[in-house]
A and B are shown apart, each in its own frame.
Chain A
């Protein structure tokens, strides 16, 4: 039954609902795929083999009893290891939480399970979701299934690699500055960051609270839409969750939006963009035009991407994003005090401050330390206005640019990343270079918008290229319909990495 792993979540759910396959068969097929490819890919921090079979048997029993098994009934999924689960550990790929067992579960995970999904395990990430390559994980590297010398992107690199390598049907990730969309682009899968407030953050370990959103990584747009619908909705346990009805994300999926206006932000098509990626996105625009959409040029001046003679990228949005994210991180990560939970130093400490400082020095990796320190600095007396408050003002300018652009178009089309997947170690020496891997995705988080990353073909080297569609807040159904329109027009979706083909 290994072909079960080639189906989309929607196709698999339909087979299971029809009795043509069981949840247990599907789960075993995925556990076999994990046995075969996980030793090379390293996408999971923890595989819940026994628990997954148990969940699958429960779904099969419900179906046998004539009960509804839900829209994801029996579909095996993976969850990024920064979402609390009452089973297994929640480590955030940090030594700080290496043995942490959450006393409660994230709402998004509850909703997935209530919809019948079988959770296969927890996936690797950059420590506390801080990074763009998953190289900042304290557990292990995750390899890109398309080329194992290359990173899967990050921070949801484990989820992206697991979906690409057919080691789960779909997965949850989290996106603070591009952490779903950039790894989706690197691994040739679909990734979606919902509108801020659409999905409850309850149980998501906080990094940048005004930016963080949970979203799906999936084989195609329809699966991403289905999962988004399942995990969305108001939650009284997250005060930033928006009390708003959740529309049927699939209702108009196959109806191409009439008179769709696609905006190309001219600042994103600068010399900073890799030539092959540029060609691929231009080809996507042409595919839309052939399918009846209108292409308009728009401007996002404060998200402008510059490149200097030395090839160094820069953008106001990236500077703004990192100031805001690090400030919020320094506050959020103050909770790791080694008193209530988390790593505590084994060394003798003279007083409680020494215990805090030594435990945090041992428990956090270098990137997490850098971000806490920078956030602490930019929030400190004398610097608050120059950095944090200034960044909040620029954030408003960035949002205003999007508002103006959406007066003239329905969705924006741009790259999800300036380049295809890079090699291990390529950007680890210089933190600033790594930060600029997010340059096409951060503006969306600052403005709270939904962003959809879709495979737009392969480069000459055989690596996936990712494009991004951005819509106004709460425009998910239209965004998914626009994404589906591209999949149909281009036939570039559902890319299969060579390691899966050879299996």
Chain B
């Protein structure tokens, strides 16, 4: 599902940086909570809505900058395609891998039923 999008096209000089009008209303907070897999109380929905709007408004400061033709920089040290030899190494034993599991059965992690729930 796409987010309800409220984009206001900047008529100013930096056309490529869509100037986004933040309006994190309650349905949107609930939707972000769902995408983030975090259950929210009604009180949190209202507090987070206010806080997220203020923070996003601050982020919008970047739209003042002209970044036409600037190459995005995802990493500080630009290593590319670091490959390792395909040789088997030491790995965790099933016992070690399961040691922190909230619930397990034999060599399996246990979770509630995946099919048939409300979501």
Stretch at the interface among A42-50, A128-136, A353-361, A408-416: A353-361
With A and B bound together, what is the CA distance between A242 and B82 in angstroms? 10
One digit per residue, 1 when the CB lies within 8 angstroms of any chain A CB and 0 when it does not, for chain B 76-119 equals 11010010100000001000110111110000010111101111
Contact of B102 among A236, A342, A370, A385 (CB under 8 A): A342
A316/B61 in contact, CB under 8 A? yes
B62/A319 in contact, CB under 8 A? yes
A382/B32 in contact, CB under 8 A? no
Q: Give the residues from 3 to 20 in chain B that come closer than 8 angstroms, CB to CB, to chain A.
A: 3, 5, 7, 17-20
With A and B bound together, what is the CA distance between A378 and B59 in angstroms? 10
- Asked if A302 is at the interface (CB within 8 A of a chain B CB), the reply is yes
- Asked if B71 is at the interface (CB within 8 A of a chain A CB), the reply is yes
With A and B bound together, what is the CA distance between A51 and B95 in angstroms? 24
- Asked if B63 is at the interface (CB within 8 A of a chain A CB), the reply is yes
A382/B5 in contact, CB under 8 A? yes
Contact of B73 among A104, A330, A395 (CB under 8 A): A395
Residues of the B chain whose Cβ atoms lie less than 8 Å from the Cβ of A344: 102-103
Dominant SS among interface residues on chain A: helix
- Asked if A473 is at the interface (CB within 8 A of a chain B CB), the reply is yes
A390-B62 CB under 8 A given contacts A340-B100, A448-B76 = yes
Residue of chain A at shortest CB distance from B19: A386
A322-B59 CB under 8 A given contacts A239-B82, A353-B119 = yes
One digit per residue, 1 when the CB lies within 8 angstroms of any chain B CB and 0 when it does not, for chain A 47-73 equals 000000000000000000000000000
Residues of the A chain whose Cβ atoms lie less than 8 Å from the Cβ of B73: 392-393, 395-396, 399
Residue of chain B at shortest CB distance from A104: B92
Residue of chain B at shortest CB distance from A474: B77
With A and B bound together, what is the CA distance between A47 and B79 in angstroms? 38
Residues of the A chain whose Cβ atoms lie less than 8 Å from the Cβ of B118: 350-351, 354
For A, the interface residue count at a CB cutoff of 8 angstroms equals: 78
A197-B79 CB under 8 A given contacts A101-B99, A372-B38, A394-B67 = yes
B75/A210 in contact, CB under 8 A? yes
One digit per residue, 1 when the CB lies within 8 angstroms of any chain A CB and 0 when it does not, for chain B 11-34 equals 000000111100010000100111
State the Cβ distance, A349 to closest chain B Cβ, in Å: 5
Q: Which 7 interchain pairs have the tightest Cβ spacing? A: A351-B117, A448-B76, A392-B72, A341-B100, A344-B102, A393-B67, A361-B39
- If A389-B72, A431-B55 are given as contacts, then 10 extra A-B residue pairs at C-beta distance below 8 Å, sorted by A number, are A210-B75, A240-B79, A319-B62, A334-B37, A341-B101, A370-B55, A377-B56, A382-B7, A392-B73, A393-B71
Binding site for B on A (CB under 8 A): 99-101, 103-104, 195-197, 210-211, 236, 239-240, 242, 302, 314, 316, 319-320, 322-323, 330, 334, 338-344, 349-358, 360-361, 364, 369-370, 372-374, 376-378, 380-383, 385-387, 389-397, 399, 430-432, 435, 445-449, 473
A-B contact pairs, 20 of them (CB 8 A): A196-B77, A242-B77, A316-B64, A319-B60, A338-B102, A339-B102, A340-B109, A342-B100, A350-B117, A350-B118, A354-B118, A357-B33, A357-B37, A360-B39, A361-B38, A373-B36, A374-B55, A380-B32, A393-B67, A430-B54
